[in-house]
Amino acid sequence: MQQVPALEIDGITLSQSLAVIQYIDETRPGPLLLPADPKKRAQVRMISDLIASGIQPLQNLYVIQKIGAEKVQWAQHFIDRGFQALEAILKQTAGKYCVGDEISMADICLVPQVYNAERFKVDVEQYPTIKRLNQTLTEIEAFKLSHPSCQPDTPPDLRA
Ligand SMILES: N[C@@H](CCC(=O)N[C@@H](CS)C(=O)NCC(=O)O)C(=O)O
């Protein structure tokens, strides 16, 4: 697909963010990114899939490049459509984070999608739960370190 991320790890190469996150969760120490409780686990997967399959692909570069002049409106439309559903779901599932009070794969999906929404000038004020969760998460050191502006290959003009 000529997309990032691709991760070389333990002798294999993995693409697809959710597969990468779940492999790291299953093989590396640290907090569980998929909760043990089956209901919470399903909610984490539901939110992650909603973002990774229901929103992100519709506003990805290779899609909007095909749209032409209407590309910003196109991206805004599909992000808004997804955020309306996501806001309603998060109202039911969120505590401090997307599902309860533990950071999960859903939070890892949410932050870059809000970053994209802001890039396309979507009014995130319309989604108070999404806005609150994103504010909480982006204050956490690990999320700060993973920001696109802080990567080793970030072009100089986009560095933090
Ligand atoms: N389904 C893939 C999507 C990956 C993806 O869309 N990557 C974007 C950056 S976030 C990309 O490489 N876009 C390049 C392009 O569209 O040309 C995943 O979850 O990893």
Residue 124 CB contacts under 8 Å (≥ 6 apart), including other chains: 83, 114, 117, 118, 130, 131, 134
State the DSSP code for 146: T
Query: Quick one: average pLDDT of 152-160?
Result: 90
Q: How far apart are CA 112 and CA 28, in angstroms?
A: 22
For ligand 1, atom 2: residue with the closest CA: 16
| Residue 110 Cα to ligand 1 middle (Å) | 15
- In this predicted structure, the answer to whether residue 160 has a pLDDT above a threshold of 90 is no
**Domain ranges for the chain:** 37-150
Mean local confidence (pLDDT), 28-45: 96
Q: Is the CB of residue 17 below 6 angstroms from any atom belonging to ligand 1?
A: yes
CA of 100 to the centre of ligand 1 (A): 28
**3-class DSSP state for residue 15?**
strand
Please give the model's pTM, rounded to 2 decimal places. 0.96
pLDDT tens track for 45-58: 999 999 999 999 99
At 32 the three-state DSSP class reads coil
pLDDT of residue 82: 98
**CB-ligand 1 contact for 52 (6 Å cutoff):** yes
CATH of 37-150, one of 1.20.1050.10, 1.10.260.40, 3.30.70.1280, 1.10.10.60: 1.20.1050.10
pLDDT at residue 67 is higher than 90: yes
For residue 86, is pLDDT > 90? yes
Contacts of 50 (CB under 8 A, 6+ apart): 82, 85, 86, 89
Mutate to test the pocket of ligand 1, among 3, 67, 109 (most ligand atoms within 8 A of CB): 3
The DSSP code sequence of 19-65 is HHHHHHHHHS-SS-SS-SSHHHHHHHHHHHHIIIIIIGGGGSHHHHH
Closest residue CA from atom 13 of ligand 1: 3
